[in-house]
Amino acid sequence: MSLKENEIAPDFELLNQDSEKVQLSQFRGQNVVLYFYPKDDTPGCTTEACGFRDNYDKFKENNIVIFGVSPDSAKSHTKFIEKFQLPFPLLADVEHQVCDLFGVWGLKTMMGKEYYGVLRTTFVISPEGKILKIFENVKPTNHFQEILDLFSK
């Protein structure tokens, strides 16, 4: 992981599920949760997304904007959002450029086979654009609570 806590998060622009451009720097003045996940509508990714969904009001109360990022298309994101009524945007990083920028595209192993994909990682970014916290090797269950705990201290 090349990025470190207390550094300014790199700016980027990606399309959301509605094919609208979203730029990270547009959200200065707010806390941002940028969570990178491997694939829409898979068990772990659904658990993680639904945890954010079910606690969305708590994030809003803390002035926290949530963005999920994966290499899936905007169309795939739309289906995922509709199926699980997700109240936050998902960003399409089809060419994994932002995943590369944030250092979360890497070698993975499943059933003895190696492949490249998204390393489940979350960045919490301050209103000033600094990385407050990096969660690596995220476990999808109750991950939302780890983030909320940062703001309850």
The set of catalytic residues is 45
CA angle 76, 9, 108 (to 5 degrees): 50
Q: Say if CB 8 and CB 32 are below 8 A apart.
A: no
9 secondary structure, DSSP code: P
Asked whether the CA dihedral 110, 96, 6, 147 is positive or negative, the reply is negative
- How many CB atoms lie under 10 A from the CB of residue 60? 13
Q: List the beta bridge partners of residue 105.
A: 118
Cα separation, 45 vs 80, in Å, equals 10
For the packed helices 43-54 and 143-151, what is the interaxial angle rounded to 10 degrees?
A: 40
